[in-house]
Amino acid sequence: MTTHVRDAITVVHGPQGCTHHNFSLLHATSLDNDRIALPPLVSTGLSETDVIFGGEGALDRTLDTVIARDPGAVFVLSTCIVDTIGDDVGMVCGAKAGVPVIVVPTAGFLGGSFQTGVNNALIALAGMAGPADRNGGVNIIGEKNLEYEVEENFAEVSRLLALLDLSVNIRFVHDLATDRIASLGAARLNVLRDPSLIPVGESLKERFGTPYIPAYPVGISGTVAFLESVADTCGVDCRHAVEEEHMLRQQTLDDFADLAGAGIFFTPLPPDPEGSRVAQDIAQALRLDVTSSGCPVPVPVTPPVGIIGVRRLLHRWRRALHA
């Protein structure tokens, strides 16, 4: 998350290996999403000597080096070893002036999951924003920057918001300039990527009074419900938008009507009940027969976002059926 703040640098306070894994993962997914920049991720490179004598000096030196590069902000992530030996990360970071240095507690052994880390990072980043006048925009909160279709999914949500004459304020956090974080509280609505971000939504609601929609629309019927929910929250009229969306839904069913009656089999099996429900709904709407003897069709790890996501999925099913 923090590496998506464009002019900020993220420092991982720990041995090099703790950074390497993140670095390669972020680099590889960036390439998949056509971003060729290296992630701005710096390790404090702790050695055994630092562990014995305390890693605060190494963090201090790394922060000085990094701050000399004049970043918009510095984010400091902790690791297991520094919390085990009791480095006072907050104290070292608090002593730096001129650039915001923000601590994100991420020592894995203290509990929590990948998602907890994401939520902690977003809440820490939100701490950089102050009160702001409403600007009528909508924030997108917690995009899955590692997912393959992150841009397509964002485009689909933007399309739906545009149907309601709403525009995006900031993508929090996706390729975001540090100074834009200040406008976080200006939005009239926050749209969360998925319900696991509700703690972030609640935190922003408490701080800025911004209501939130807990998830992107998924599946064949998600978009209409999403439009209604956004319109309801923002107090705007959605009748025209819903009408258009119904037409697009019907158009999609017509476009893939040739698949009707085919036997299909989901592979791999959807990873959770929601994924299963969404896949079943799509199959049912197209009158496909889900059976163990059917043709194997792919199901994504996260359910397809919006009608456009469903259309991309159906193209893949069609290719599988015609293969």
Partner 1 sequence: MVMKQIALYGKGGIGKSTTSANLSAALSLAGYDILQIGCDPKRDSTRMLMQGRLIPTVMDQVRERGASGVTPADVVYTGFNGVRCVEAGGPEPGVGCAGRGIIATFQLLEKFGTLTGDVIVYDVLGDVVCGGFAMPMREGYAQEVYLVTSGELMSLYAANNICKAIERLSARPKSRCRLAGVICNAKNQPKEEELVAEFARRVNSHLVQFIPRDRVVQLAELNRKTVIEYEPDSKQAQIYRDLATHIMENPRFTIPTPLEIDDLEALAIEYM
Residues that bind partner 1 (CB under 8 A): 48-56, 84-87
Pick between residue 56 and residue 143 the one whose CB is nearest to partner 1.
Answer: 56
Least distance between partner 1 and beta carbon 77 (Å): 20
95 or 260: CB nearest partner 1: 95
Contact at 8 Å (CB) between 215 and 164? Answer: no
Q: Find the shortest distance in angstroms from Cβ 93 to partner 1.
A: 16
Specify the 3-state DSSP secondary structure of 113: coil
User: Counting every residue, how long is the chain?
Assistant: 323
**Nearest approach, Cβ of 50 to partner 1 (angstroms)?**
8
CA-based nearest residue to 278, from 217, 224, 319: 217
CA dist 109 and 310 (Å) reads 38
**Which two tokens mark 93?**
């970071």
Of 262, 263, 266, 252, the closest CA to residue 301 belongs to: 266
Nearer to partner 1, 86 or 268 (CB): 86
Closer residue to partner 1 (CB): 48 or 206 = 48
Nearer to partner 1 by C-beta: 85 or 123? 85
CB of 48 to partner 1, least distance (A): 6
The token duo for 306 is 């919006």
Q: Which of 242, 254, 309 has the alpha carbon at shortest distance from 287? A: 254
- Side-chain-facing half-sphere of 192: CA atoms under 13 Å: 21
Beta-carbon count within 10 A of 291 CB:
10
Q: Whose Cβ is closer to partner 1: residue 80's or residue 132's?
A: 80
State in angstroms the smallest separation of the CB of 54 from partner 1.
Answer: 3
- Smallest gap from Cβ 51 to partner 1, in A, equals 5
